[in-house]
A and B are shown apart, each in its own frame.
Chain A
Amino acid sequence: MAANTETISAVEKATKDYKYGFVTDIETEFAPKGLSEDIVKFISKKNDEPLWLLEWRLDAYRKWLKMNTEEPKWANIHFPKIDFQDAYYYAAPKSDADKPKSLDEIDPEILSTYNKLGIPIKEQEMLAGIVGSGNVAVDAVFDSVSVATTFKSKLSELGIIFCPISEAVKKHPDLVKKYLGSVVPQTDNFYAALNSAVYSDGSFVYIPEGVRCPMDLSTYFRINAAETGQFERTLIIADKGSYVSYLEGCTAPMRDENQLHAAVVELVALDDAEIKYSTVQNWYPGDENGKGGIYNFVTKRGACRGVNSKISWTQVETGSSITWKYPSVLLQGDNSIGEFYSVAISNKKQQADTGTKMIHIGKNTKSTIISKGISAGHGQQTYRGLVRMQAGADNATNFSQCDSLLIGKNCGGHTVPYIDSRNPTAEVAHEATTSKISDEQLFYVQQRGLNPEEAVALIVNGFAKEVLKKLPMEFAVEAQKLLGVSLEGSVG
């Protein structure tokens, strides 16, 4: 079925609420539907993987089978049971076989997709590999498999590795073998086990000792094939005294069937290292009735393994029909720091159960949690966070602030903080507020000349400011626009 201009414009017209709701026509190579050892072997073979990794995947698959009755049920989300045998687990653009060296060689359909996503010209130039065109390196993940990786040479001069994880497995097997699954074990949870078995590809980053990565590393994810589960696997290692800022941003085309996404992201920070991981997520949230949106079950966890290390998660979650996500930090090293800054929007029938876990293990560890939840329409939003002070976490401190903003009468905001302190010298502070956008506020802003949607966007951006300012500049601008777009139709 060709997505010609007419089709695209028809789809865009039909889905004008979601401006990225279009479909790119690329011949997709599917594995057959369903999940079995054969499918796991197929994916491993497609990626040309070594035996150890195949065995690791099969091991995960067998563990997942045993967990099959253990789909997490504690989250405040409701959806029809997923038939894991009724989905595809592998899809790759055909052009993958012959990886392009420049923009000219990239499928025009993909380029046009980038254009529709509003990827800045500058970054497109960087995709084209034009030297000196900027300082954001993009590892573009298109439908599971990376089709373009840029700035490799600039990064490799510093010894930085930034490549698809499938490539890292071949070129840097020792690093992958050492760290893969070391933060999120195969059996961590149901979705992590599934991911370990069938992950298609993802990004791999290694920053060598003492190196400060000179640019924000950036990956655009995009789910493109109908009924294809997306199972990305990201592994970032910051060696001693290094620093990296990593950006992840995503949009997805419109589909009728629910699309399952179960990514795993693992971060490792060694002594004195710092990782800053920022996400702007805008996957299709479903229609007015919640039909067709992405199911996003993500396991993101960082380990502050070294002394004085720091891991910071910043997320802006506006998309998906269901979000199940708890970017967490294991504060193992003494004096290590964990941060979680989150803005999440639930509009229409969206459901989000999101938060973080800060596990304080080392002495003098410190964590900060700032969560801003916005509910509109029939959206339901739950902040769920755990702060645990282990027995050895002397003088550890945590500060948590969870604010909910409600727009309209039919939405819900919930805060579920778990605090578990096993050390008498540790300090935990939790603050929570719930507020509404009042008619007075809306009238005041409209009286100054803004239409109702602009007014809501302004007020919401003010509410989320504390988190937005943590994002890298270009991401912050994008995120501000996204908050407005995501809340369109929530008033009036």
Chain B
Amino acid sequence: MSTTLEIKDLYVEVDSKEILKGLSLKIEHGEMAAIMGPNGSGKSTLASVLAGKEGYNIVNGTIKYLGNDLLKMSTEERASSGVFLAFQYPVEIPGVATSTFVRTALNAQRRNRGEDELDAMEFLKLARQKAKELEMSEDFFQRAVNVGFSGGEKKRAEVFQMSMLSPTLAILDETDSGLDIDALKIVAEGVNKLRDNKLSGIVITHYQRLLDYLKPDTIHILADGKIIKTGDKSLALLLEEKGYQGITGAN
């Protein structure tokens, strides 16, 4: 089996308003797919639905993840089976050290998968190694999760968490928003280091520039609740040149 994720004909409502309108999408193992689209097209809704956030009414459609019915899984089951969402706006958790948070999460996932938990020393060793790979200082281990982090620090911390939890499907929700070009490079390089033939990714973005560094395999244009065009890198360049209206043909 080589398909990580298969979404078929997905209709989703939020507060009785239809947001996704027949979205279909297939992601293979090791594939990095970019989803681009104008504001309000449903990009973040898709990310939230995949991660299992409450408040989304699934009207129709199916989502298969590694052959299982994703919509039947709880948020934490999805996480434990390898779905990771890098948040557009990472949330602050005052008083909880980042290392405590990641260790609690990692061990919860391991427990849910029936694996042994990591002890403090094993965890620290792994965390140090990952921080080094991502060229991050260990200072942030003891800082409360996202509290007082700059925009760039928050996004890097998300990538660190992702690397610690080693997901199967990583969803990056506008990870580039609010980053200057240097921070963007660093984050993209961080993600690239995690790429291997097991990691599939969905990169949600407005802009071409992140894709310069991430180099996705496929690019999908999401507009008005469904995928209207799929292509390779040239599609992103076309988009940059003509804008969404030029691509969608809308006036």
Partner-B contacts on A (CB < 8 A): 438-441, 443-451, 454, 458-459, 461-466
Contacts and interface: CB of A to CB of B under 8 A. Distances in A.
A449 B93 contact: no
Contacts of B144: 462
Nearest to A444: B91
A448 B95 contact: no
A212 B84 CA distance: 52
Contact of A451 (B76, B93, B106): B76
Interface in B82-120: 84-85, 87, 89-96, 101-102, 104-106, 108-109, 112
Contacts of B89: 440
A337 B196 CA distance: 59
14 contacts: A445-B105, A446-B75, A446-B76, A447-B79, A448-B101, A448-B109, A448-B165, A449-B79, A449-B106, A451-B74, A458-B93, A462-B95, A465-B96, A466-B95
Given A444-B87, A447-B52, A449-B112, A463 B94 contact: yes
Given A441-B91, A446-B79, A450-B76, A459 B105 contact: no
Please indicate which of the listed interface residues B53, B55, B90 has the most CB atoms of chain A within 10 Å of its own CB.
Answer: B53
Given A441-B92, A446-B75, A448-B102, 15 more contacts: A439-B55, A440-B89, A445-B105, A447-B52, A448-B79, A449-B108, A449-B109, A450-B108, A451-B76, A458-B96, A459-B93, A462-B94, A462-B95, A464-B95, A465-B96
B95 A444 contact: no
B51 interface: yes
A210 B212 CA distance: 71
CB-CB nearest 7 A-B residue pairs = A462-B95, A462-B96, A448-B105, A449-B109, A465-B95, A444-B91, A449-B79
Contacts of A449: 76, 79-80, 105-106, 108-109, 112, 165
A466 B145 CA distance: 15
B54 interface: yes
Contact of B51 (A447, A451, A462, A466): A447
A440 B95 contact: no
A450 B104 contact: yes
Contacts of A454: 104, 108
Please indicate which of the listed interface residues A446, A459, A463 has the most CB atoms of chain B within 10 Å of its own CB.
Answer: A446
B96 A448 contact: no
A81 to B, nearest CB: 40
Nearest to A466: B95
B161 interface: yes
B85 A458 contact: no
Interface of B: 51-55, 74-76, 78-80, 84-85, 87, 89-96, 101-102, 104-106, 108-109, 112, 144-145, 161, 165
A50 B97 CA distance: 55
Contacts of B76: 446-447, 449-451
Please indicate which of the listed interface residues A438, A449, A451 has the most CB atoms of chain B within 10 Å of its own CB.
Answer: A449
A316 to B, nearest CB: 15
Nearest to A438: B91
Interface of chain A: mostly helix, strand, loop or mixed:
helix
Nearest to A445: B93
A458 B105 CA distance: 10
A439 B94 CA distance: 15
A462 B93 contact: yes
A343 B79 CA distance: 31
A440 B91 contact: yes
Contacts of A451: 74, 76, 108
Contacts of B94: 462-463
A461 B91 contact: no
Contacts of B165: 448-449
A441 B90 CA distance: 9
A443 B91 CA distance: 9
A458 B87 contact: no
Nearest to A464: B95
B79 A441 contact: no
A402 to B, nearest CB: 15
Contact of A441 (B54, B80, B93, B102): B93
Contacts of A466: 95
A92 B89 CA distance: 59
Contacts of A445: 93, 101, 105
A444 B90 contact: yes
A470 to B, nearest CB: 13
A454 B75 CA distance: 13
Nearest to B87: A444
Given A443-B53, A443-B54, A462-B144, A450 B95 contact: no
Contacts of A443: 51, 53-54, 75, 91
Nearest to A435: B94
Contacts of A446: 52, 74-76, 79
A198 B200 CA distance: 70
A463 to B, nearest CB: 6
Contacts of B90: 444
B62 to A, nearest CB: 21
Contacts of B96: 458-459, 461-462, 465
A365 B145 CA distance: 36
Contacts of B161: 448
A117 B168 CA distance: 42
A463 B96 CA distance: 8
Nearest to B94: A462
Contacts of B102: 448
A459 B94 CA distance: 8
B100 to A, nearest CB: 8
A466 B78 CA distance: 33
Nearest to A460: B95
B105 A450 contact: yes
A85 B241 CA distance: 87
Nearest to B110: A449
Contacts of A441: 91-93
A465 B112 CA distance: 26
A464 B102 CA distance: 19
A450 B95 CA distance: 17
A444 B101 CA distance: 11
A462 B91 CA distance: 14
A141 to B, nearest CB: 33
Contacts of A438: 91
A465 B145 CA distance: 13
A446 B108 CA distance: 10
A174 to B, nearest CB: 47
Nearest to B78: A447
Nearest to B111: A449
A47 B79 CA distance: 60
Contacts of B78: 447
